[in-house]
A and B are shown apart, each in its own frame.
Chain A
Amino acid sequence: MSSRALPALVLVLLSGCPGGGGSVGDSCSNASDCDGPLQCVEHVCAPRCQRAPECGDGYACDADGLCRAATGEVGDACESEVECGSGLSCQIDGTTATGSGKLPTSCSAQYPGRPAGSECSVDTQCRNGTCALGHCVDLCTDTRDCGSGDACMSIPRIEANGVMFRGCLPARGTIEWTIPVIGPRSDILFPIPDAARSALLVFRVDDVAQKVGALRVDEPNGDPLAPIYKKPCHRSSPTDTTCDDVVAIEQYFAQSVRHLPEAGQSELLLPSTPSTPLIPGAYKVKVSSFRANDSAGSAIPRVTAVLKMDSAVTLDLHFYFLDLDDHPCDAAFGSRRLDAAAAKDATFFQSDFVGELRTVFSGGGLAIGATTYQDLTDHPDLDGLTIDDAGALLSLGAHETGINVFFVRTLSPVGLQAFGPNPGPAGVAGTRQSGVIISVDTLCYRSWSQLARLTAHELSRYMGLYHNVELEVAQHPSWRDPIDDSDASSRNLMFFSELGGIELSPGQREILSKSAVLR
């Protein structure tokens, strides 16, 4: 809080003087006119405040719950929105930090713009003059300065190359916004507030013949010679001696941040392991589209950022049923049609499948929350799914929270039991990767509880876990997940085989708990 502004704050009224008798809404001239703990604000008895916006523009809410009028005038230094008088807002003045390491801020006239929390792309769209993470943000020094549901936290200022400032952002749920990209290969800054628990980038291009993703990622204030991610090499020709498939895979597994550009869409999730935690500040990401041969593409990537802001651990599941009529494995579901209505009531689904999912995820510290059921019987082209068409099916995933789970009749190639992104676009619905696909024909030779285990495996990949070990780990010891405490056991949930177990290490549980699909 500004040293100039603080003494200027005026205590509107003393509080706690009993016996006035005025109720909420009654007129008053001071606190003694109001009943009990009420205060007198602008000549009206009002409850004590918890947040400054309850007091109105130009007021702070102090630690005693009293509204205090701000007296900051145009040009006065400030640190919080609540220090500036009515009609003014505390705004960032420049892009260079002062000697104290803070950005210069002062009271300035409000813009005719949107209130805090509204979507924005530039400062001037916001009434109070600050746009960050795609949303209008009020400057603050304390969470009491922020609206209900928001918290005061340190936020990187992109326009100032990541210098941190204090602003109000949602304390719960997720924050999602679009990061503009100007060309097929561009550097972007990815701002991470100090309260964020995980951060996800979703890269997309419309031309699915081109790949898209990150070329390189640098930590905030990181060593330019030591990025935390570099795209693995690509063999440019048969005579290329610098790269082959094994070298490329080794490079992928050697990094604590796991990511590969993919056709049409890919995701980059931070953190991939507890040993490389998320750092507040601006990550520098070089994003690119690629041709099939890995040369630079022509498509301009679209980048969506998603931050998980809380420690909520409830996983909602949204089940979609393609037309499973007359299915060859219908003995597993009572020789009747398996659809949304049947699944809601059937013991085999509720107990043997969803119940087993609850058991598996409770071991991971997660709770299964809401489950929804929907038929997709008007997509016969996707009933028996060829994996090349997975994007068309997953784009029907309409739920942003939780994970969309699609039950198809069959998956081709034969033998694939499940398919999904690793990780998936948490918090972003309707994309080519918005869900996981489970093939019901597995029920011809496996039980519902076994199907639940492999479904939990695929859901966990969506949430950011990787195979604890790959099949070739005996020949290539580094081909395993980046989590230090997960072992190579087949008892692990992330063992690549359908014959694995359901154990999770503490590190795996920590990564799971940070997924933005959780609420």
Chain B
Amino acid sequence: MRRVALAVAFSLALPARGEEIQLPQPAIDALTQIDELPSTAQLDGAFGDQALMNLQMIALDESSIDPGVQLRAVRALTHYCNPLPCSASDPVHTTLTTVATNPRYQDARSGSDLLMLRAAIESLGILRVPGDVTILVPQLQHASRDIRAATAHALRDLGNTQAIAALRARYQQEQVPQVRIAISDALRVLGQPI
């Protein structure tokens, strides 16, 4: 297996499938903090002017990156779309939609793959691209209560009232109090409280 080193000065292309990504220590440090999320300044310090590309590479890797690092990279991508709401064509958005619609993650029922889906859903909510309703709404039916709750929060953050009908419908059948509360909160913010 070829190894591709991510480094501050050179990381200009996404690795080909099967290539193993080696992270420089500053990147690992930035993306493994226990009680803080990396700030933009910290990410820039770790990756230099290639932070966005490196984070994309980490987020899209499917073989060699530590899941803990990858989760934080997905979340950290949201630092690199300014201003918000993000453009649908922005590379941050396209990367996150790629992760969120990856069947490996969408079909996951447990484990770190499910956490990746949750990370992508949460991040899409932050970007506030109205059209992401079509990506998020189906996740209200996900088998995982944590994904359903995260989706309700993301739809709340998205602010698109087109999600109201789907949220109401899910609320009617939802049995888990955690998710019902999340949906109720989303509907309240969207102006249609239960």
Contacts and interface: CB of A to CB of B under 8 A. Distances in A.
Given A384-B146, A444-B114, 13 more contacts: A323-B178, A328-B146, A329-B111, A383-B178, A384-B178, A415-B68, A416-B37, A441-B146, A442-B68, A444-B110, A471-B45, A497-B29, A499-B32
Chain B facing A: main interface SS:
helix
A419 interface: yes
B144 interface: yes
Interface in A360-413: 380-381, 383-384, 386, 409-410, 412-413
A230 interface: no
A42 interface: no
B149 interface: yes
Interface size band for A: 35 or more
A454 to B, nearest CB: 5
A442 B66 CA distance: 12
Contact of A498 (B30, B34, B118, B149): B34
B66 A418 contact: no
A283 B122 CA distance: 46
B84 interface: no
B112 A418 contact: no
B146 A381 contact: no
B181 A380 contact: yes
B92 to A, nearest CB: 15
A381 B111 contact: no
Contacts of A384: 146, 149-150, 178, 182
Interface in A164-197: none
Nearest to A499: B32
A472 B42 contact: yes
A475 B42 CA distance: 11
Contacts, number: 115
A380 B178 contact: yes
29 contacts: A323-B178, A328-B144, A331-B111, A380-B177, A380-B178, A384-B149, A384-B178, A386-B153, A410-B118, A410-B146, A410-B150, A414-B74, A415-B68, A415-B71, A415-B75, A415-B119, A444-B67, A444-B111, A444-B114, A445-B66, A445-B115, A461-B35, A471-B29, A471-B30, A496-B29, A496-B33, A496-B34, A496-B36, A497-B34
Interface residues of B, number: 45
A375 B37 CA distance: 29
Contact of B32 (A328, A330, A461, A497): A497
B28 interface: yes
A491 to B, nearest CB: 14
Interface in B127-144: 144
Nearest to A414: B119
A441 B115 contact: yes
